[in-house]
Structures are given as C-alpha cells and as structure tokens.
C-alpha cells in the first residue's frame, strides 16, 4: 500500500510540473510525452517570443483555452517556445511561427495541422469538430437557435429520414469540413420555425444575406462546393484574424481593393466592389485591405503600391506560382471590376510584372543593379556568368549579406566574363525567376541554354568564390531542387 501511495504521489508531482499560463499548458521536451498521456486531445502552438503573429494570437488562444476549461472539456491548449525547445520543433517540422498541431488520443506520431481561423471561436469550433461527431443532432427549436446564435456560420441539414441517401451525403460533407459546425434535424417545429417545407440543407451566417439554401442534387461534392462558396462574406477584410481563412481556403484567385477606411467615398467604393463580387462567388475571393494600416504596408509594397496610389485594384493567383494582374483602368465601379474579373476567368489577361526604371549608373559599381527592364539582357547574356542576389530592402538577412556581396563584386569587377549583381525583388519581377524568400541567390552561367542554378552553399566570400570558380558546382543545385532555407525571410 505504501508503495502504491508513493507511486501515486510521484505521478501527481510529475503532472504538477506542467505549468499553466492563462489556462494554456506550457510544454517542454521534458514534459511533452507526459502531457500527451495526461490529456488525450491537445492543441499545441509552437511559437517564437519575438513573432508578431504569435503575439497577436496569444489572447485569442488563451481565451479559447479558458472557454474549453470552463465547459469541463477534456480538450486542452498548450504552447511550446520553439526557440528554446529546438529538438521538439525539429521533430514536428516547425519551419514558421506560429505552427499549430493537434494531437488526438495521445498519438504523437502524426498530429493534424490546425487549419482554421485565429479567433477563440474558430479554435473551439475546430477542436469540437475534430473530437465530436461530424453532425450534431438537434432535438428542437431552442437547440437550433443556439447553434445559429453561437456561430458565425452554421449548417443545418433538414432530413426526415437520417438514413436517406441525401442525409448520408450530408454527413460525408460534414466530415470533410473542420471549421464549421454541422447539425441535422427531423423535428417538425424546427422545419416550421425556419420555413423549410422539404428535406434540404441551409447555411446560416451572420453577414450578407443571412442564409443560403442548397439547391441541387445532394452529393458530397456539391454540398462541399455550396458551403465553400457561401461560408465567407462577399467581401472579406484582410486582418491578422481573417488571414488563415483567406489563405487556407480553396479559392486561390483573389482580387484585392486597397482603400483607406477613412476615405470620404469608402462606402460607395465598397458597395461597388461588393456588387461585382456577387457574380464571382466561389470562383474569386474579394478582399478589402485598409491601405492606411501600418501592418498592411508590406502587402502594398509586394504589389508595388504606395499609400498615395490608393485606391487601387489588383488580382493575384495563389497556385504553385503567384501571378499578379493589374487592370488597365483605375476606375472602381462594379462594371469595371466585373469586366476585369471576366477577362481573368477567360484567360485573356497578361500577368503584371513590376519594374523600376533602369538606373543611369546601374553598371558603374562592382555590384551591378538589375531591374525588371534590364534583367533579361544582362542575366541571360550568353557570354557572361551572372551571379544575382534577389533581396528585399527590409530583410535582415539581406543586410547581413550586403558587405560580403560587395566584396564579391569588388573581386570580380574587372572580370571579362563574370558579373555580380543584385535586384530588389519587392519592386521588380521577372518571368524566369519566382522569388519566395530573401535573400535568394541564383547563378546564370554563360551559354545559350538559359540555365539557372540555385546557390546553397555558405554565405561567405570563400564559399561564393569557390562556387563561381567551379562554374556553379561547389554549393550549387539545379533551380527548384533546394529545400526551404530556415534562415530565409519569407515573402
């Protein structure tokens, strides 16, 4: 008995080592396995103390943890300082912050990546969907009204026979969507309350028209398309909270309106934008960006825009390669936006590639300055070996590299066949190279083949010199074959 009590005491003491901050468990490598055993369903945020996104998430994450704890849920939220617990971060493939993973049933081998929004309600809804039944059963009007009142978006299936083919297709669709609650009812009073006369599926939402009724053949695929087309507002504002929904959704074509909220004609332009959005629901996501917000300036820069150039419209595709499009007209009317989007959907638009003007002294210094307008003729000159740094002016890694790159330029300034160059990729774009992080270093060897070789070696003068002297072999790899660079600043 004494031995048993000792073991129990030790077990309690061990569990007590898992500290909490605002209802969020603080995990380390030393207590990680213990936490998974103690809590069968646990959401873990891998964060960095200096990360702005992590700081913005913190209050909502703590709020979600408190909501679940108050309900008596067995689901817990936890966090790991990935800059301190580097082994854990490496084990779970953490390459950016925050990275959020869900460990279900104490299983640590293959956690599910968290994919919903970053507000407390989004987090709680996603977790409940992951741990409970895909479809809740509504017994009466009060339960239905509570579901609708408590959620930004909720879907209710009205089925008299829960075993029907339509009801089964509905359940399959529900299982495929993590961040929206699905429910089902056969209650006559619920049918009557929501003016439903036959079996159907209704999406309720706290924006735009308030509800959408599915019309068509009840299949999993068509139901998914219906929900995904209607779950977001016609126009969604880009914020820290909405970003995951914008980038994590299935719609990869986005049209953006950059406009200051303080503008006198703000509402008029918003109405025009919203009117145009109605015709492209489910195909193009319409996004509004307040161009006066400091946190949005990087986005303006990415599109080559300045505050004073707003309002402005741009379109981007987020497929394997990001492609931007710019309308010919600066007009912001429902008609002009509709015409622009129609040309895009018909494949009749050419990508918009930004370029600065060619500086008069672009070739006067050891490191040549490239822009979109002179890149092709310099980089693909068949008589020259050209080594290019694609950088961003704000990038800390680029600033660290700058003095070394200048020394490399100095070393080869009198070379007859080697050029060291740089290009500001926040202001210049080219078809031959898609830059996703900074700095990106690429080598364009002499010849007619138009080869592009990525540099993956040490960022030292010696490393660069070996690379150039070996013709791009020492420290090089064919373009596209390199892994993501943990030290790169992602665009």
310 noted as active-site residue: no
> How far out from the chain centre does Cα 14 lie?
38
Among the listed residues 8, 310, 341, 398, the single catalytic one is: 398
Helix %, strand %, coil % for the chain, to 5?
35, 20, 40
Task: For residue 132, give the DSSP letter.
Answer: S
Among the listed residues 8, 54, 310, 341, the single catalytic one is: 54
398 noted as active-site residue: yes
Inter-residue contact 244 to 295 (CB < 8 Å): no
- Placement of tokens 């493939």 in the chain: 93
Q: Which residues, at least 6 apart from 409, have a Cβ–Cβ distance to it below 8 Å?
A: 365, 366, 367, 368, 420
Q: How many residues in total does the chain contain?
A: 491
Provide the Cα torsion 334, 336, 342, 346; round to 10°: -170
Q: How many contiguous H segments (helices) and E segments (strands) does the chain have?
A: 16, 24
341 noted as active-site residue: no
Inter-residue contact 147 to 193 (CB < 8 Å): no
Inter-residue contact 281 to 229 (CB < 8 Å): yes
Extract the tokens encoding 166: 């339509």
Helix axis angle for 334-345 and 266-277, nearest 10°, is 40
Q: What are phi and psi of 111, to 5 degrees?
A: -65, 155
Q: Which residues, at least 6 apart from 441, have a Cβ–Cβ distance to it below 8 Å?
A: 387, 388, 389, 390, 454, 455
Q: Which residues does residue 324 pair with via DSSP β-bridges, in sequence order?
A: 316
Three-state helix/strand/coil letters over 326-390? CCCCCCCCHHHHHHHHHHHHCCCCCCCCCCCCCCCCCCCCCEEEECHHHHHHHHCCCCCEEEEEE
Among the listed residues 8, 51, 310, 341, the single catalytic one is: 51
395 noted as active-site residue: yes
Provide the Cα torsion 142, 148, 150, 155; round to 10°: 120
Q: Is the CA virtual torsion 491, 114, 281, 275 positive or negative?
A: negative
- 3-class SS of residue 454: strand
Q: How far apart are alpha carbons 485 and 476 in whole angstroms?
A: 14
Which residue numbers are catalytic? 51, 54, 395, 398
């Amino acid at each position: 008995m004494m031995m048993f009590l000792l073991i129990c005491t030790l077990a309690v003491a061990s569990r007590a080592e898992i500290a909490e901050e605002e209802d969020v468990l603080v995990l380390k490598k030393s207590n990680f396995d213990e936490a998974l055993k103690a809590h069968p369903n646990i959401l873990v945020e891998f964060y960095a103390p200096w990360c702005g996104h992590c700081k913005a998430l913190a209050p909502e994450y703590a709020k979600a943890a408190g909501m679940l704890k108050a309900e008596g849920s067995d689901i817990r939220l936890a966090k790991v300082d990935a800059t301190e617990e580097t082994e854990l971060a490496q084990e779970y493939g953490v390459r950016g912050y925050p990275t959020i993973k869900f460990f279900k049933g104490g299983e640590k081998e293959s956690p599910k990546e968290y994919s919903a929004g970053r507000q407390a309600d989004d987090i709680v809804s996603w977790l409940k969907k992951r741990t409970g039944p895909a479809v809740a059963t509504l017994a009466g009007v009060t339960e239905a009204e509570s579901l609708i009142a408590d959620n930004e978006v909720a879907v209710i299936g009205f089925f008299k026979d829960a075993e029907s083919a339509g009801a089964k297709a509905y359940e399959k669709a529900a299982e495929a969507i993590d961040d929206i609650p699905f429910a089902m009812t056969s209650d006559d009073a619920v049918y009557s309350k929501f003016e439903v006369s036959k079996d159907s599926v209704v999406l309720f939402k706290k924006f735009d028209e308030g509800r959408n009724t599915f019309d068509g053949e009840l299949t999993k695929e068509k139901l998914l398309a219906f929900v995904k087309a209607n779950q977001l507002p016609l126009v969604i504002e880009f914020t820290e909270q909405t970003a995951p929904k914008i980038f994590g959704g299935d719609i990869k074509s986005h049209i953006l309106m950059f406009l200051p909220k303080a503008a006198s004609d703000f509402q008029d332009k918003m109405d025009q934008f919203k009117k145009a959005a109605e015709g492209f629901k489910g195909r193009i996501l319409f996004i509004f960006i307040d161009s006066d917000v400091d946190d949005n300036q990087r986005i303006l820069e990415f599109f080559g825009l300045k505050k004073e150039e707003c309002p402005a419209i741009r379109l981007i595709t987020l497929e394997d390669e990001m492609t931007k499009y710019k309308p010919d007209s600066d007009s912001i009317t429902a008609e002009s936006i509709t015409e622009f989007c129609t040309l895009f959907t018909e494949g009749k638009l050419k990508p918009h590639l930004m370029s600065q003007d060619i500086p008069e002294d672009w070739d006067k210094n050891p490191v040549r300055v490239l822009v979109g307008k002179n890149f092709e003729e310099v980089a693909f000159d068949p008589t020259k070996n050209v080594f290019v740094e694609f950088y961003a002016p704000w990038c800390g890694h680029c600033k660290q590299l700058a003095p070394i790159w200048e020394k490399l330029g100095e070393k080869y300034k009198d070379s007859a066949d080697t050029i060291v160059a740089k290009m500001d990729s926040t202001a210049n774009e080219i078809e031959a190279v898609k830059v996703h992080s900074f700095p990106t270093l690429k080598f364009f060897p002499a010849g007619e083949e138009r080869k592009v070789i990525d540099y993956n070696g040490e960022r030292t003068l010696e490393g660069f010199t070996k690379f150039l002297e070996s013709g791009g072999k020492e420290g090089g790899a064919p373009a596209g074959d390199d892994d993501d660079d943990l030290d790169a600043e992602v665009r």
